[in-house]
Amino acid sequence: MDKINLCIDIGNTSTKAAVYQNGIEVEYIKPFAVSDLLRLQKEKEIEILVSKTGSNPDLELLLESSHFLSHETNLPISIDYKTPSTLGRDRIATAVGAYNLDDKVAWLVIDLGTCLTIDLVYNGAFHGGLISPGVDMRLKAMNAYTSGLPLVDYNYEIKFPGKTTEESMQVGVCQSVIHEINGYIHQMNQRFSDFKIVDCSSMKLHFDKEVKNEIFARPKLVVEGLNNIIQYNAKK
């Protein structure tokens, strides 16, 4: 029976998984369901590692005996964080994934989804970062916590100044996210002479033209990092 690594990302909005064999991705499944797990278990000898930030009760029931990533997992990087037990598992996985791309440079790991996270990885360690509301969360909050603002979709094409209330909300949210991301990139350029950016977002990011750093688009970085961790421990 063939041996595979099954890397499962239980996120806030969906569950994804990737199958790796001999270090190569052979299957990517989104959404990943109980039926997919049962099929793979029949066909393959499996090493499983799970990143859980959301909830998938039916799948989790079948994965009770599997390894779930945590700050106590044996990692190829160290965790420089005051509250490691609260650290999002996806943030750990993407930090490892970035480190595995190039362990000689500093990385800014950017993930725009339900929330925006920007994390710093250098010298073989995760050094923390930031968490702020994602685009949809910001738009929904304005609708939920006011009596007069509508619920609108995001639109990056509308520029300041917005000419309607809807446009003003879209400019306020979308452009603020752009400025937030690019602001931290410029801040890190003042700190590091050379660093790279990895974008693992589920949404398209918009970078300033002035950003000259090398940017890698890796939307599967969570599962890549999980596979890196399995491989790292297999060598022990």
Q: pLDDT of 118-138, one tens digit each?
A: 999 999 999 999 999 999 999
204-210: list long-range contacts, CB under 8 Å, 24+ apart: 204/156, 205/110, 205/112, 205/181, 206/156, 206/178, 207/181, 207/182, 208/178, 208/182, 210/186
| Domain co-membership, 53 together with 142 | no
| Domain co-membership, 198 together with 215 | yes
CATH (domain of 17):
3.30.420.40
Query: What integer pLDDT is reported at residue 1 of this predicted model?
Result: 56
Nearest to 176 by CA among 149, 202, 139, 145: 139
Query: What integer pLDDT is reported at residue 206 of this predicted model?
Result: 76
Query: What integer pLDDT is reported at residue 67 of this predicted model?
Result: 97
| Domain co-membership, 83 together with 45 | no
Is 90 one of the catalytic residues? yes
Query: What integer pLDDT is reported at residue 211 of this predicted model?
Result: 77
Low-confidence ranges of the chain (pLDDT < 70): 1, 208, 210
Q: What does the DSSP assignment read for 49-113?
A: EEEESS--HHHHHHTTTSEE--TTS--SSEE--S-GGGS-HHHHHHHHHHHHH-TTSEEEEEEES
One of 90, 111, 119, 199 is an active-site residue; which one?
90
Report the distance separating Cα 160 and Cα 90, nearest Å.
34
Q: How far is CA 187 from CA 10, 75, 212, in A?
A: 32, 28, 13
Query: What integer pLDDT is reported at residue 196 of this predicted model?
Result: 95
| Domain co-membership, 112 together with 128 | yes
Question: What's the domain count of the chain?
Answer: 2
pLDDT by residue (tens digit) across 49-73? Answer: 999 999 999 999 999 999 999 999 9
| Domain co-membership, 130 together with 168 | yes
Domain enclosing residue 154, as ranges: 73-236
Query: What integer pLDDT is reported at residue 207 of this predicted model?
Result: 76
> For residues 51 and 152, is the Cβ–Cβ distance under 8 A?
no
Query: Is residue 137 helix, strand or coil?
Result: helix
Token representation of residue 64:
């009770």
Query: What integer pLDDT is reported at residue 214 of this predicted model?
Result: 87
Report the distance separating Cα 144 and Cα 148, nearest Å.
10
